[in-house]
């Protein structure tokens, strides 16, 4: 069989998982990608992964986000061509089709990178059973028109003392307006997809602002620093939206 000049043969077994991780993360460091692939048990060696990423980038399916050079190392994102390739393999997302003009706003890159760090912390601890990214959740919600749902940053299914629990994760890097938080409370009160929500924040100021704004929500909510969560996971001291603003280990919030 003859191929046209510049053709790059891609493997469904090896290259598609790489592209899916990059698409679903929105933005990702190579080191993060390497850890995800390793923890997934894909079997790709580091040298092979670097070679595959380089050729996928050369083919124009992924790109380095040039406006993130201040981070000191390359950040990769999917391209329209990469989305079109995944769609040709049956991996279509309503929330990010190949016709999208912008993959990710530059201001959202740090948020996306931290979400990968949060996922990796759970995977390394061996307690993560499944993980849905915001793109996957939003795509599902576009289909489920009968349920009141929120486009969470992630939904994690984890092993808590041998029992699988499902909760939503939200990462807050900057504060929102009071009106926006009021709208979020209304959506959370109607949401039927998760029992509990964990808000992770970049600093204490945002944490206490969130706790104040969300204290009237009926949904069970916990608040913790993202860095503390990545270190302590289920033992993280978590502020709750209970009447007495109790502080409990995260496992207690999830198991309640």
Residues 133 and 217 placed together within one structural domain of the fold? yes
Residues 24 and 149 placed together within one structural domain of the fold? no
Q: Which helix (H) or strand (E) holds 224?
A: strand 220-225
Indicate if the alpha-carbon torsion angle 93, 41, 116, 14 is positive or negative. negative
Domain-embedded: residue 2: no
> Residue 85 in contact with residue 39, Cβ under 8 Å?
no
Domain-embedded: residue 137: yes
Residues 169 and 186 placed together within one structural domain of the fold? yes
Mean pLDDT of 24-40: 95
pTM, whole model, 2 decimals?
0.93
Domain endpoint, select from 72, 104, 136 = 104
Residues 91 and 148 placed together within one structural domain of the fold? no
Residues 196 and 179 placed together within one structural domain of the fold? yes
Domain endpoint, select from 104, 135, 151 = 104
Residues 47 and 141 placed together within one structural domain of the fold? no
Residues 149 and 90 placed together within one structural domain of the fold? no
Domain count, the chain: 2
Of the given ranges (47-61, 145-159, 204-218), which has the lowest mean pLDDT? Answer: 145-159
Q: Is the pLDDT of residue 242 over 80?
A: yes
Put residue 72 in one of left, alpha, beta given phi > 0 → left and psi -120 to 50 → alpha. Answer: left
CA distance 242 to 60: 50
Mean pLDDT of 129-139: 95
130: number of CA atoms within 13 Å, CB side?
10
Residue numbers of the domain that contains 188: 106-256
Q: How far is CA 88 from CA 62, 83, 117, 142, in A?
A: 16, 9, 29, 21
Domain-embedded: residue 1: no
Average model confidence (pLDDT) for the chain?
Answer: 90
């Amino acid at each position: 069989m003859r191929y046209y000049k510049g053709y790059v043969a891609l493997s469904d077994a090896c290259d598609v998982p790489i592209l899916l991780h990059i698409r679903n993360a929105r933005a990702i460091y190579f080191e993060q990608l390497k850890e995800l692939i390793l923890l997934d048990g894909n079997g790709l060696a580091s040298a092979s992964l670097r070679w595959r990423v380089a050729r996928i980038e050369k083919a124009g399916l992924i790109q380095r986000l040039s406006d993130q050079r201040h981070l000191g190392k390359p950040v990769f994102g999917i391209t329209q061509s990469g989305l079109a390739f995944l769609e040709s393999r049956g991996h279509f997302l309503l929330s990010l089709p190949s016709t999208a003009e912008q993959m990710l706003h530059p201001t959202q890159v740090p948020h996306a990178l931290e979400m990968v760090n949060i996922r990796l912390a759970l995977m390394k601890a061996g307690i993560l059973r499944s993980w849905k990214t915001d793109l996957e959740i939003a795509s599902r919600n576009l289909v489920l028109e009968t349920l009141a749902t929120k486009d969470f940053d992630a939904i994690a299914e984890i092993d808590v003392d041998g029992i699988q629990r499902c909760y939503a994760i939200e990462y807050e890097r900057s504060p929102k307006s009071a009106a926006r938080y009021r709208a979020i409370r209304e959506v959370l009160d109607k949401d039927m997809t998760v029992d509990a929500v964990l808000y992770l924040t970049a600093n204490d100021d945002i944490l206490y602002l969130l706790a104040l704004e969300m204290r009237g929500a009926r949904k069970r909510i916990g608040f913790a620093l993202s860095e503390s969560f990545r270190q302590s996971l289920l033992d993280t001291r978590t502020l709750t939206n209970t009447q007495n603003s109790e502080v409990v280990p995260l496992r207690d919030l999830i198991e309640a």
